[in-house]
Amino acid sequence: MKPIRKLAIVVNEDKPGAPELARDLCQIAAAAGVRCKQTTRFPVARGYLRGMDACCVIGGDGTLLGVARESVREQVPLIGVNRGSLGFLTTFSADEVRSQFARVLGGEFRLDRRTMLACSTRPGSEDLALNDVLIKAEVNSRLVRLEVFADGELVTDYTCDGLIFSTPTGSTAYNLSAGGPIMHPSAGVIAMTPICPHTLSNRSIIFRDHVKLRVFNRSADSRLLVAMDGQRNLKVGSSSPVEISIAKLRLPLAQRPDYSHFSVVRTKLKWSGGFVERR
């Protein structure tokens, strides 16, 4: 990759050690002749990443999700440094980034281009999500009846707490907790996983990359809430469908050259298929 000459840094100052780590990385960048600017605000302001070669996000996955929309709009790669808990998106540890940052600035990184979802609830309301789109009743205690169409064809209807539409990147987030499948980030598909459906059969559905999904609210007494990456809510009209598809642009995410998705999954989820003999 090309060397990084202009770097934005986004710091979640509520995470232990994040401000100190940001100072260290700024010093490394200055020694390499890289110009830096820094903010503690996320989601970042529109245009903050314009003209930058990369953005280093120091915090947790939620911090990175707060920068993702601006990153994909400006096509500025994100370097995620984990100061949170799981860290599926912020895959660099503090020690790794300190030891490798000069090489990363020199262009020694791999660029993954992650699928994002485009969602609209009315004309001109399109928003982007890196992990997932959640559709549920506005009142938490209520079930909702949702009818799903794919490319104009009825898929099925659910009476449930809600539906999760997940990217492969988001498959290890809410989708996984709801019993959905783990997907490789390069799969380029959409998973639909019902939340507590009122049925004896509960299975996720995987849709192809070019699908156009429409979800209708068939509950006369319930309004819908549409949450994008768990951070932003879209308003839904009483008769308007929620439309979901794969976005045209992809998120550029910087990774170590030896990055392995399944290694991250095994480590973060303590996932192993090994047999343990009982004695």
Start and end residues for every CATH 2.60.200.30 domain found in the chain: 117-246
Give the model's pLDDT for residue 241: 95
Question: What are the phi and psi torsion angles at 202 (to 5°)?
Answer: -140, 100
In angstroms, the CA 271 to CA 273 distance is: 7
Whether 276 shows a pLDDT value over 60: the answer reads no
Give the ranges where 81-180 is alpha helix by DSSP (H). Answer: 94-105, 174-177
Give all strands (DSSP E) within the chain, no chain letters: 6-11, 35-39, 54-59, 78-82, 110-114, 117-120, 127-129, 132-137, 144-150, 153-160, 162-166, 190-195, 205-207, 213-217, 224-228, 232-234, 242-246, 251-255
Judged on CB neighbours under 10 Å (0-12, 13-18, 19+), 16 is exposed
Question: Is the Cα torsion angle 65, 66, 72, 75 positive or negative in sign?
Answer: negative
Give the model's pLDDT for residue 273: 63
The residue-averaged pLDDT of 185-208 equals 93
Return the number of other C-beta atoms located less than 10 Å from residue 25's C-beta.
27
Return the number of other C-beta atoms located less than 10 Å from residue 223's C-beta.
15
Give the active site residue among 24, 53, 61, 221.
61
In angstroms, the CA 99 to CA 92 distance is: 11
pTM higher than 0.75, yes or no? yes
Give the model's pLDDT for residue 279: 59
Establish whether 61 is a catalytic residue. yes
Start and end residues for every CATH 3.40.50.10330 domain found in the chain: 6-114+250-269
pLDDT in tens, 146-173: 999 999 999 999 999 999 999 999 999 9
Say what percent of the chain tops pLDDT 70.
97
Q: Which CATH number fits domain 6-114+250-269: 3.40.50.720, 3.40.50.300, 3.40.50.10330, 3.40.50.620?
A: 3.40.50.10330
The DSSP secondary-structure symbol of 92 reads B
Q: 117-246 falls under which CATH superfamily?
A: Probable inorganic polyphosphate/atp-NAD kinase; domain 2 (2.60.200.30)
Whether 124 shows a pLDDT value over 70: the answer reads yes
